[in-house]
Chain A
Amino acid sequence: MPLLIKGRAIVEDRWTLLRDATSLADVSGETAVIVPLALWKSQHETLFARKDVGVWLKPDDDPGALVADIDSLPLIAIDFPKFVDGRGYSSARLLRDKYRFGGELRAIGDVLRDQLYYLRQCGFDAFAVRADRNFADAIGGLDDFSDNYQSTSARPVPLFRRRNGATADDGKLPPT
């Protein structure tokens, strides 16, 4: 079973990512699958009924397409074909902050140690680090910084509201 960083732990990944699934035939017989948005939309009734189906988004997929399913989807993955393509960071923030997605938000594709801190701040809590990399080393990337100036998905209260402890409310990361 492939590995995954979930929160801060290395776990075995029980989900199967179906990058090229285009029809129900590609999905049958599998449990816990992550399907492309296009398939999710075209076979919505069947896939929605299964409860063990997650959806993955391409960088240019509109996360708003999942708004009706947001409370029931167990997992949404966002693909980074190249780590320098930063669109997925904004997709994640919309899913977390605008659509209030509370399930697992997973980064897939060219996922590397040096982007993990930023990914986490944008709301990702699972990282399918590229298979050729050292996962234990990659976890270190989550701690590259101890805090950030901005309001983020993981730490909504920006530093300027916490700096002197004057008006702080919950600016911390959720427990993982």
Chain B
Amino acid sequence: MGEQNQTSAHQDAYAEEFPKIRDCPALYQFLLNKSLFIPLRPKEAPLYSKSSSPTERDNVYKYDHIDQRFVDERVAQFRDQTRRFLAGELTEDEFRPLRLQNGLYIQKYAPMLRVAIPYGLLSTTQLRKLAHIGRKYDRGYGHFTTRQNIQFNWPRLEDVPDILAELASVEMHAIQTSGNCVRNITSDHFAGVAGDELVDPRPYAELFRQWSTFHPEFAYLPRKFKIAVSGSPNDRAATLVHDIGVHAVRNADGDVGFRVLLGGGMGRTPIIGHVIRDFLPRQEVLNYFDAILRIYNRFGRRDNIYKARIKILVKEMTLPVFAGHVEAEWERLRGGAGTVPDEEIERLASFFEPPPYEKLSGDDAGFRSAVADNRAFGNWVKRNVFPHKVPGYAVVTLSLKKTGVPPGDATSDQMDAVADLADAYSFGELRVSHEQNLIFTDVRQKELLALWSELKALGFATPNIGLLTDIICCPGGDFCSLANAKSIPIAEAIQRRFDDLDYLHDIGELDLNISGCMNACGHHHVGNIGVLGVDKNGEEWYQVSIGGDQGEAASLGKVIGPSFAAQEMPDVVSRLIDVYVEKRHEDERFVDTVRRLGLEPFKERVYASAH
């Protein structure tokens, strides 16, 4: 009844908006029969305005009135849930899953709110809103996470509905950033600008975002579920350690489809994902996801939280058996209502058209001489600038890994300043990487020197991207109630040890990742050097593994031996590096030396002097 009333209300709204509609009874009846009276945007709802919505030149997905209504309805729903909780109408057990699905944890000292930055894309309008939220509701900063989210560590529970409303005003949300549901969709932070890209993953990432948002069947899964998509053979999205990793590829006919990987993940039982399907037609991807999730939802273990991820189900069932179930379910859904028409893929792709690039020479003379004349600038270019597919442009990574600052942290003032710079230098858009850095994707080569000076002043020009001090690090025991040990002070102590920039550059590419507990938010399993905080009789100790790697050749690190006390950690890392520097072949990365020599020489050195 209510649904019908709503429908007739929509009809009335149409008639009011388009008075002529009733003059054509045939059209009116057609619309009625076909249920085309979808709701119009409410009159009071604001249209996009310059002040509160993404600028016109950035390349982010723009909500229409339906997308907007969903986030508005979510805010209203959560506001009422919070009210009922505070009024005692919902118990803590009843409220917990609801708040988690809105990104709200109760942490060690205060609630923590995790806001989604879908596939890492941000307009400067959105970044300014995050700065504002940090200032108004938090302590003036935010923490960029390893899954393209941002966390605020000090909001008040009562304020969270208002924060969500502020986010909704710039087409953002905290939907499903936690809880046992499909989490924020993550992707390649260089999407659309990398020369090695086969397919731009952003339209698909947005398709997946919409599919996963409020999926009614999969809101209460056995455990969290993470999906990442990459469109490049050089996997920059850690797809092999996701519940589903999707590689956009082209088949022999040039058609875009997906290679689907399943059951990867970190945490207590780290596993590299397995290919479950080599080529899935792009139109079928949501049906295939529905099939996978349905099998997982029905059969995933719910008796033990540590065995509840899909990777355990796949392991226990075996991949061929699991795949057989999925294929059978997909066969039933194939070609059905959930099949995505190419028009929708084109509609989504239209939001990610290239910005208006200037025709430039690929080799700017001023830039070339600045690199030659200015060693500090040259170092920064070498480490923090990535080639762009368009001549004369460059991709710049802003390092959030300055020694002394918790990795991934940025103050509200810094965020505002970064927004101004992105407006000035990079079409009003930026990216967040799972390495917890920020990216300007479209900087003119000739402006790199000027940008570098500005970033230096902000503290975001540390020339350490991909180097030992570009540490991935979870908030750890300083903030997180799950942590066994602190991680931020360990990161800082190691950064201080390796403060000689020449030495750091000589060591070369090295991922050092730190997690404060088993949950592996700091991705320690795939660090070339991985550090895991463990609890031994109430004391904080650190287990070290080496040989892990992310990307297309992802591998899991191996533990070198008994764990260490916090103050030993800089020495341990130094000794590992000493062995590498002595034994490396020319141009061999740390991880390759570990692969060639195995653990032994590293173990010997570390334990010979440490214990």
Binding site for B on A (CB under 8 A): 7-8, 83-87, 89-91, 93-94, 98, 112, 114-115, 117-122, 142-152, 156-173, 175-176
Contacts and interface: CB of A to CB of B under 8 A. Distances in A.
Contact of A145 (B207, B214, B340): B214
Contact of A89 (B210, B217, B338, B344): B217
A158 B210 CA distance: 11
Given A146-B39, A148-B214, A159-B66, A86 B297 contact: yes
Contacts of A144: 73, 77
Contacts of B69: 146-147
Contact of B3 (A98, A170, A176): A176
A158 B298 contact: no
A91 to B, nearest CB: 8
B600 interface: no
Given A119-B216, A121-B216, 19 more contacts: A83-B220, A86-B217, A93-B294, A94-B294, A112-B94, A114-B77, A120-B216, A122-B217, A142-B2, A143-B2, A145-B77, A149-B213, A151-B336, A156-B337, A158-B337, A162-B35, A166-B343, A168-B34, A172-B35
A175 B8 CA distance: 13
A156 B336 CA distance: 9
10 contacts: A8-B1, A84-B97, A85-B302, A90-B217, A93-B294, A120-B216, A149-B213, A172-B3, A172-B35, A175-B3
A175 B217 contact: no
Contacts of A89: 216-220, 297
A90 B1 CA distance: 26
Pairs of residues from A and B, 8 with the lowest C-beta to C-beta distance, nearest first: A86-B220, A121-B216, A118-B216, A151-B338, A160-B344, A151-B337, A149-B210, A89-B217
A156 B77 CA distance: 24
Contacts of B336: 151
Contacts of A90: 217, 294, 297-298
Contacts of B302: 85, 87
Contact of B340 (A83, A94, A148, A160): A160
B217 A98 contact: no
A84 B77 contact: no
A176 B220 contact: no
B32 to A, nearest CB: 11
Most buried by B among A7, A86, A118, A172: A86
Given A83-B220, A84-B220, A175-B4, A160 B341 contact: yes
Contacts of A156: 337
Most buried by A among B38, B211, B343: B38
A164 B34 CA distance: 13
Contacts of A162: 35-36, 38
A22 B332 CA distance: 35
A176 B344 CA distance: 31
B81 A114 contact: yes
B7 interface: yes
A168 B32 CA distance: 11
Nearest to A112: B94
B64 interface: yes
A149 B34 contact: no
A118 B101 CA distance: 14
B38 A152 contact: no
Contacts of A83: 94, 97, 220
Interface in B280-322: 286, 290, 294, 297-298, 302
Contacts of A160: 207, 210, 340-341, 344
B61 to A, nearest CB: 13
B574 interface: no
Contacts of A176: 1, 3
Nearest to B296: A90
Contacts of B213: 149
A122 B216 contact: yes
A165 B347 CA distance: 14
Nearest to A98: B332
A78 B66 CA distance: 32
Given A168-B34, A176-B3, A118 B217 contact: yes
A149 B348 CA distance: 14
A66 B611 CA distance: 65
B98 interface: yes
B210 A118 contact: no
Contacts of B221: 86
Contacts of B97: 83-84
B215 interface: yes
A167 B216 contact: no
